[in-house]
């Protein structure tokens, strides 16, 4: 059988540089559209990891500045902190103006890192250790974000790149909706009948916040 190949060029940029990435894929003659899907998934993976790397770098700096004071927080307190950030984003989106310095991008970054903190807190629920250095936390941070990335890959397989057609305002609303769900689950002592638990909702919030930062960086 004669194999045919398609070549693709993916152009990415950050605040300073442009990056050109080349892909070579064999074409399945029975389903050539798979090529386009694979390219989009590659682009999402690269952009996603760039956002997470920036969030992790900020997390490291704050850990060195403040230590792990957040270890004192209960999960419900972290949920409320995330809610405040999401509500501020929505307020700025509706009013079109802000009077406090932190940008919408900063707030989405904060949502991601607080969600990661919540996932770490759940992992450390049986530990009384309050002070941790970044070297100890780094593996926990990576485990939390890799688990969330794996969830993204599975959902992208089923839904495609549907999030790219969504507006940042809509994804902000979904984050707020998921926060209200988490608050209800917490009020129910973590008991659910048919719904996803708290962990899945935190992972979804990370992914939607990453999507928002990708779209905002692209000027959408």
95-123: per-residue pLDDT in tens? 988 887 789 999 999 999 999 999 999 99
Q: Predicted confidence band at 32 (pLDDT cuts at 50, 70, 90)?
A: very low
Identify the top-confidence range among 12-16, 33-37, 65-69: 65-69
Model confidence, pTM: 0.81
Q: Predicted confidence band at 35 (pLDDT cuts at 50, 70, 90)?
A: very low
Give pLDDT, residue 138.
96
Query: Could you give the percent of the chain with pLDDT greater than 90?
Result: 63
pLDDT at 34 over 50: no
Sign of CA dihedral 209, 213, 218, 220: positive
C-alpha radius of gyration, the chain, whole number: 19
State the Cα–Cα distance between residues 175 and 218, nearest whole angstrom.
20
State the Cα–Cα distance between residues 25 and 4, nearest whole angstrom.
9
State the Cα–Cα distance between residues 199 and 202, nearest whole angstrom.
5
What average pLDDT does the structure give for the chain?
84
Q: Are 205 and 179 in contact (CB under 8 A)?
A: yes
Enumerate the β-bridge partners of residue 18. 13
Give pLDDT, residue 33.
46
Give pLDDT, residue 36.
45
Picking from 3-7, 102-106, 161-165, which range would have the lowest pLDDT averaged per residue?
Answer: 3-7
188 vs 59, higher pLDDT: 59
pLDDT at 218 over 70: yes
Give pLDDT, residue 42.
79
Q: Predicted confidence band at 158 (pLDDT cuts at 50, 70, 90)?
A: confident
The whole-number average pLDDT for the span 135-157 is 92
């Amino acid at each position: 059988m004669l194999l045919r190949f398609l070549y693709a060029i993916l152009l990415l940029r950050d605040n300073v540089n442009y990056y050109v990435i080349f892909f070579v894929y064999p074409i399945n003659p029975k389903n050539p559209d798979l090529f386009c899907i694979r390219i989009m998934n590659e682009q999402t993976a690269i952009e996603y990891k760039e956002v997470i790397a920036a969030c992790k770098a900020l997390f490291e700096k704050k850990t060195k500045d403040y230590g792990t004071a957040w270890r004192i927080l209960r999960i419900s307190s972290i949920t409320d902190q995330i809610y405040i950030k999401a509500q501020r984003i929505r307020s700025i989106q509706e009013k079109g103006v802000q009077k406090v310095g932190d940008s919408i991008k900063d707030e989405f970054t904060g949502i991601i890192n607080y969600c990661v903190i919540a996932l770490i807190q759940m992992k450390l629920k049986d530990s009384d250790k309050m002070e941790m250095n970044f070297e100890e936390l780094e593996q926990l941070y990576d485990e939390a974000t890799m688990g969330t990335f794996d969830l993204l890959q599975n959902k992208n397989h089923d839904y495609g790149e549907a999030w790219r057609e969504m507006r940042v305002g809509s994804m902000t609303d979904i984050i707020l909706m998921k926060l209200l769900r988490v608050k209800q689950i917490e009020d129910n002592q973590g008991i659910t009948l048919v719904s996803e638990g708290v962990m899945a909702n935190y992972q979804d919030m990370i992914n939607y916040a990453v999507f928002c930062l990708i779209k905002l960086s692209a000027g959408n």
